[in-house]
Structure 1
Amino acid sequence: MHSSFDITTLFPTDFYRFVVVTVFSLLLGLEQRIKHSSSNTSTIFGTDRTFTFIGILGFVLYIIQPQTLLPFMLGALILGGLLITFYLKKINTENNYGITTIVLAFITYCLAPLVYTQPHWLVILLVVVLLVLEELKKPLYDFSQKMNNEEFITLAKFLVMSGVILPLLPNQSISPIINFSPYKFWLAIVAISGISYGSYLLKKYIFPQSGVILTGILGGMYSSTATTFILAKKSKDIDEPRKISAAIILATSMMFIRIFVLALIFNKSIAYHIAPAFGILFCISLITAVVMLWQDKKLQNSPKNPVHIENALGNPLELKTAFVFGVLFVFFSVLTHYVTEAFSTQGIKILSYLVGVTDIDPFIINILQSKYNVTEGALAIAIINAVTSNNLLKMMYAISLSAKSIHRYIIMGFSALIVLGIILAFL
């Protein structure tokens, strides 16, 4: 048998590690050169060659005595003295207190022990993060200027919800009759809040003045019903019926993705059951929106100024929102249990149509988390029915709140989804 050729056996392992340290140190130094070449700073500790020498110095002093690390520690003290001297001079000459270059130089010095002791992917990730963070100085500053104290409190809430409260809650059912536990209850809130919070941040900070179409896409990740409300009302001020209608349909398209993601999180088996139906519904809604946009572009005689829609969606982590969701979740847990016990499969199918007039997320997550005496196929049909019923509700909202010019587009778009949803549920 012929043994496969391994290029790593050509040279000692230390050779490859030396090359890695040298290349990574050079990259960090080159980034410093690019950064300082466009600035007016005259006091620079070093760039490409200096950082490469620092990395090589750390490598040499580390491999001399890797057991005790005495040479490496002594080198760190000497390098620290040099960096402190440079920093003091920088303060005196330029009144500049930034220490980014100094910290980066110390990290470069530590590359050798990292390469020797840590997985390669971790070292590569570290260097990539350093390079990206250096280039993101201005965008991060601009982003921080947009944030206020309330947003940091909101972020702290989400971290507490997901990282502190959730792991502490028991996962044992509180009742032998209803499969409901505090952990499942809070996990549902965290999952919904996480998706909605991500959409909220994108809408508020990345696309603060997004157009109609982007509002529909991002809003659908948050809440397709709320987005339908907002866009339908906006149609009275914006004379672009096809574009507004397309944005409303796109919000519903994102609803299919959001629910499917939740299904993957809570119950992969049911997710696979609804995947074909949701795939068809998503494609039809997307095609409908694209056709409307194509007609809008084709029929426009003169280009219009882009319309910006401010972020009208509320904060998804408000206590009121979580409370309403929690109440609905508990309510549907109890109601669904007794309906399935009394009427079995037929009962949960009828109930799924009725819940469309409310927030369907608590009902759907309850189905995904709980165990009922019905088949997974029946539960998948219940989810499709709930979505279909909710689409009917959104169509009624859109017609009642919008300008007459979009009514026919809304009726055509939602009617196709409603009829198709009914057919798919029977199939």
Structure 2
Amino acid sequence: MEQDLLDSFLRLAVALAAGLLIGAERGWHKRSQAEGTRVTGIRTLGLSGLLGGLCALISQQLDLILLGFAFVAFTLVVLVTRIRASSETQDLGATTIIAALVTFALGAVAVLGDIAIAAAGAVVTAMLLGVKTSLHRWLSLVTEEEMLAVLKLLAMSVVLLPVLPDKGYGPWQVLNPYELWLMVVLIAGVSSLGYGAIRIAGPRRGVLLASLAGGMVSSTVVTLNFAHLSRSQDSNPRLLAAGIGLAATTMFPRCLLVAGILAPGLLPFLVWPLGLATLGGLAAAAAVWPRQAMPANRPDMPLGNPFEFITALKFGLLLALVMLLATALRLWFGDAGIFVLAAISGLADVDAATLSLARLTGQDLPLGLAALGILIAATSNSLVKVIIAASVGVRSLGIHVFVILGLALGCGGLGMALALSLAQ
């Protein structure tokens, strides 16, 4: 009996704390308003959370339907109060009403459900209320085409993905529609991190941000853009080479992330080579990086939206082709065929090679060979960037990019040897 009483007090305390937290945010947000003119604040919402907990406690003892009636009555009180206040202030926002209702509900959850869920819900609610300005600023940056692209891909993923057949089709039963589209969504999600950083901060914030964020979307596009830029009169080839090196270096942790998600068993084999390659690339880029500032009038990088359905579909087709070739070459030439495929596919897209090899580990491909194939694909892709920098940009740009990526790949090779020796 005493234990039940302590548990009830604890749950009511959490209900009160949830209301106080949300109320503190609302009170701070409306701190400029005179006392008595605010519909909700730290006291009102604190009591609302406690009220939700008390109503839940009483309903638990009598009948849970009472909690429903209490919630309806609370909603009516909040609505009437809000309507009276809005007639004086002309404020038509519904956030205050929803915040009060959520607070009451969280108080009830604290008593009837899991305390941790109620506490987490209160924190998330307060955070969501607190980032109003940032959310509105972010929405103002999103174009109609970008919003439609995101919605289309979400519809294809959330609606279509669950109903796609999860079995193999085609030659050797290699093509699994469910797995293919899941991988496409994974790559689009990773690419969106860099694309979002570029859209929010803008590529004119500096070569450092443009290189790191742009590399998450397409380091090849960054390389081509900076190579063209190196031929302008006011460019700094050392700075642009360092930027290309940074963009290309992001490929290594990106491969590690993608491979680790699909095949966690690959991580012990990839952490050393890709980790050392990343450190080597960053160190070399830092050594090449000059002290001079980047000219402010450079052009934006034409990065494609990774959420575009056509872009996702093209990558899906490329991935399907690489998967077919990976299986065929392995059947015809053994494990050596994997290395040939990795080198060739890496010329076009290192992600497709990484995904294909990670998937083959579930079909008896040794983890060490898969990791070596991924490193070969990354090497092949890096050579493409060196060729682009040397052929499109000025001579010194190609030399510096070669040095940066050469050091990164050399460190990666040492890491691969270390990983294979540790695995024995």
Sort the TM-score into its range (normalised by shorter chain): 0.7 to 0.9
Query: Mapping of 1:23-422 within 5 angstroms?
Result: 23-38=17-32, 43-66=37-60, 67-69=62-64, 72-175=67-170, 177-207=172-202, 209-237=204-232, 239-293=235-289, 296-297=290-291, 300=292, 310-370=300-360, 375-420=366-411
Partner SS state of residue 165, structure 2? coil
| 2:343 and 2:377 in contact (8 A); partners too | yes
| 1:336 and 1:348 in contact (8 A); partners too | yes
Partner SS state of residue 223, structure 1? helix
Task: Report percent identity of matched pairs.
Answer: 26
> Partner amino acid for 2:373?
A
| 1:233 and 1:402 in contact (8 A); partners too | yes
> Partner amino acid for 1:220?
G
| 1:224 and 1:251 in contact (8 A); partners too | yes
Higher relative contact order (CA 8 A, sep 6+): 2
Query: Mapping of 1:15-30 within 5 angstroms?
Result: 15-30=9-24
Partner SS state of residue 223, structure 2? helix
When the two chains are superposed, the root-mean-square deviation of aligned CA atoms in Å is: 2.8
| 1:170 and 1:182 in contact (8 A); partners too | yes
Match of 2:6 in 1: 12
| 1:233 and 1:401 in contact (8 A); partners too | yes
Deviations 1:116-149 (A, max 9, x none): 1222221112111111122112222222222232
Quote how far apart the aligned CAs of 1:332 are: 2.2
Partner SS state of residue 65, structure 1? helix
**Residues 419 and 19 of structure 1: CA distance in aligned 2, closer, same or farther (over 3 Å):** closer
Q: Aligned partners of 1:46 and 1:342: how far apart in 2?
A: 72
**Residues 198 and 160 of structure 1: CA distance in aligned 2, closer, same or farther (over 3 Å):** farther
Deviations 1:265-311 (A, max 9, x none): 22222333222211221111111122223xx13xx4xx666677635
| 2:229 and 2:235 in contact (8 A); partners too | no
Quote how far apart the aligned CAs of 1:199 are: 2.0
TM-score with structure 2 setting the length: 0.87
Quote how far apart the aligned CAs of 1:314 are: 0.7
> Partner amino acid for 1:149?
E
Q: Aligned partners of 1:21 and 1:308: how far apart in 2?
A: 54
Partner SS state of residue 110, structure 1? helix
Q: Aligned partners of 1:248 and 1:102: how far apart in 2?
A: 50
Q: Aligned partners of 1:376 and 1:334: how far apart in 2?
A: 19
> Partner amino acid for 2:175?
F
TM-score with structure 1 setting the length: 0.87
| 2:272 and 2:416 in contact (8 A); partners too | no
Q: Aligned partners of 1:180 and 1:70: how far apart in 2?
A: 52
Deviations 1:305-358 (A, max 9, x none): 667763520112334423432332232223222322222133332333233322
**Residues 334 and 69 of structure 1: CA distance in aligned 2, closer, same or farther (over 3 Å):** closer
**Residues 310 and 90 of structure 1: CA distance in aligned 2, closer, same or farther (over 3 Å):** farther
Q: Aligned partners of 2:35 and 2:243: how far apart in 1?
A: 48
Q: Aligned partners of 2:296 and 2:337: how far apart in 1?
A: 48
Q: Aligned partners of 2:329 and 2:75: how far apart in 1?
A: 71
Quote how far apart the aligned CAs of 1:254 are: 0.9
| 1:221 and 1:254 in contact (8 A); partners too | yes
Deviations 1:159-181 (A, max 9, x none): 12322222222221114625332
> Partner amino acid for 1:141?
H
Flag structure 1 segments of 5+ consecutive residues without an equivalent.
1-7
Partner SS state of residue 307, structure 2? coil
Flag structure 2 segments of 5+ consecutive residues without an equivalent.
none
Instruction: Please say which of residues 313-322 and 367-376 is displaced more in the overlay.
Output: 367-376
> Partner amino acid for 1:337?
T
| 1:54 and 1:108 in contact (8 A); partners too | yes
> Partner amino acid for 1:414?
L
| 2:11 and 2:115 in contact (8 A); partners too | no
> Partner amino acid for 1:251?
A
Partner SS state of residue 177, structure 1? helix
Q: Aligned partners of 1:366 and 1:27: how far apart in 2?
A: 48
